[in-house]
Chain A
């Protein structure tokens, strides 16, 4: 069924009896052309573009739990393309352009809201760094604007630009950035893939690979062996765990990142703001909750929950920037497992095993990458060649010294 205003009115007048489940619940077949492991945003987007843009048939997505239960349903929903380095910026700008057309493309309301993102500047050095970043963005066809404190106060009158400790000197704005309803992204891609014949198989955990003479013949799962010509892995925080089944070690550590939502409030924050003097960022959901987060907990974790010191650190950052936050009650907090790579940038590449492909290392910023990641991974799987915007996301960049290190932190995943 195609969704439209007409459908909504028709269903409203006929008691909403015509809505159908938006994807099937098929039994796994014995063999597929392409299997994608992981029903998160990236896995589902890959399957969608494989079927829609690359004309592939017989595709399955295998998900160990339910689709959207991983990081795609746990993030703080920010999209932007304000990166500095050549390896990254064209890719993230491609992603932002795909976001702009996504809802029409997959006929699903993902609530893409280009409400703008503002990175606050508190020192001269930071102004230099953000000016450079803004210029890099513009060179790559993205939008960027340096804002004065007056322009900032127009939009965010509650900010104290004359704060004694952390005065606000300006900001780097990307007006096309914003937020998206995260789980609707998973559902929209799932529906679009299912409509094109992709089997989305939930409660199906991949427990191993069947490898013979350096070739991958398929996957062992909790629902039996499933054969495939090509297997693409897109399991985010579980990447090291999964690839260890193929005896691979990855340039990655898994870390927990927490996020927080306050009770619903009247509209107060029109866009996304990030604090430049501490680790804190905040936006307001359409339901009114303040959605905010900060730093990683900082140690290897698969626990999907964090600890109190970071809760305190995030709230301190929030109170320093907008003391009114202290009056709001916290409704929910949770954690997700991040695939933190050694240079803070992702990998979309073939492995040394024939027929086995990898997508991961998204760190805390993979939600905004979802459309481009799916598109580029589909390109790689279908054509056996990287998409032009993802040529630098190679495994061997670490051994060849071609790191894409936005923050210049070196091989220390918890600092990226």
Chain B
């Protein structure tokens, strides 16, 4: 697979390590009443779809940035690559 890095252009997926579902950006509020349940769901439950999946990849052997890759889990086709930083910012998670 080739991941089209927003800053570096097309890179071999072997340069990256895979973390998982991009919902991991949405860390729950630890002070919430429902924190225990929220962290269980955040830490352990995954939608694991067959089809389009937004997921976190780390450019370990490259510029060490985190990317959000939209990839089809049935065909392995990648349709979108964003900087995780930008995604987190638009969600108000990062400055």
Instruction: List residues of A whose CB falls within 8 A of some B CB.
Output: 238, 240-241, 244, 249-254, 298-303, 307, 309, 342, 398-399, 411-414
- Which DSSP category, helix, strand, loop or mixed, fits chain B's interface? mixed
Interface pair B48/A309, CB less than 8 Å apart: no
Q: A300-B53, A414-B18 are in contact. Are A253 and B76 (CB under 8 A)?
A: no
Query: Which B residues are CB-close (under 8 A) to A307?
Result: 1, 13, 76
CA distance A182 to B13 in the complex (A): 33
> Do A399 and B53 form a contact, CB below 8 Å, given A254-B73, A301-B73, A303-B73?
no
Q: Which A residues are CB-close (under 8 A) to B73?
A: 254, 300-303
B30 interface contact, C-beta 8 A = no
B43: chain A residues at CB < 8 Å are: 342, 398, 411
Do B18 and A298 touch (CB < 8 A)?
Answer: yes
A-B contact pairs, 15 of them (CB 8 A): A241-B49, A244-B49, A249-B41, A250-B48, A252-B48, A299-B55, A300-B20, A300-B48, A303-B74, A307-B1, A398-B40, A398-B43, A399-B36, A399-B40, A399-B44
Bound complex: CA of A387 vs CA of B21, how far in Å? 34
Q: Give B45-79 interface residues, CB cut-off 8 Å to A.
A: 45-50, 53, 55, 71, 73-76
Of B17, B44, B55, the contact of A251 (CB 8 Å cutoff): B44
A250–B75 alpha-carbon span in the complex (Å): 22
Q: Nearest Cβ distance between residue A344 and chain B, in whole angstroms? A: 13
Task: For the complex, give the distance between the alpha carbons of A299 and B19 in Å.
Answer: 8
Asked if B35 is at the interface (CB within 8 A of a chain A CB), the reply is no
Our pick among B14, B37, B46, B75 for the contact of A249 (Cβ within 8 Å) is B46
User: B47, A342: Cβ atoms under 8 Å?
Assistant: no
Interface of B toward A, CB cutoff 8 Å: 1, 12-14, 17-21, 36-37, 40-41, 43-50, 53, 55, 71, 73-76
Q: Known contacts A254-B73, A300-B53, A303-B73; decide if A398 and B47 are in contact (CB<8 Å).
A: no
Chain A residue at smallest Cβ distance from B50: A302
Residues of the A chain whose Cβ atoms lie less than 8 Å from the Cβ of B53 = 300
- How far in angstroms is the closest Cβ of chain B from A411? 5
- Distance in angstroms from A361 CB to nearest chain B CB is 12
Do B45 and A241 touch across chains, with their CB atoms under 8 A apart? Answer: no
Indicate if the CB atoms of A249 and B50 lie closer than 8 Å.
no
> How far apart sit A398 and B17, CA to CA, in the bound complex (Å)?
25
- Given A302-B73, A414-B20, 17 extra CB contacts under 8 A: A241-B49, A249-B47, A249-B48, A252-B48, A298-B18, A299-B13, A300-B21, A300-B55, A303-B74, A303-B75, A307-B13, A309-B13, A309-B14, A398-B43, A398-B44, A399-B36, A399-B37
Complex Cα spacing A413 to B36, Å: 21
Contact between A302 and B47, CB atoms less than 8 A apart: no
Nearest neighbor of A298 in chain B, beta-carbon distance: B18
The minimal Cβ–Cβ distance linking B6 to chain A, given in whole angstroms, is 19
Q: Residues of A contacting B17 with CB < 8 Å?
A: 298
Closest to B53 in A: A300
Instruction: Give bound CA distance, A249 to B50, whole Å.
Output: 13
Scoring B40, B48, B71, B74 by chain A CB atoms within 10 A of each residue's CB, the highest score goes to B48
In the complex, what distance in Å separates the CA atom of A414 from the CA atom of B55?
13
Residues of B within 8 A of A300 (CB): 20-21, 48, 53, 55, 73
Whether the Cβ atoms of B76 and A303 lie closer than 8 Å is yes
* Minimum Cβ distance to chain A for residue B26 (Å): 15
Cβ-neighbour of A250 out of B14, B19, B46, B50 (below 8 A): B46
Contact of B46 among A240, A241, A309 (CB under 8 A): A240
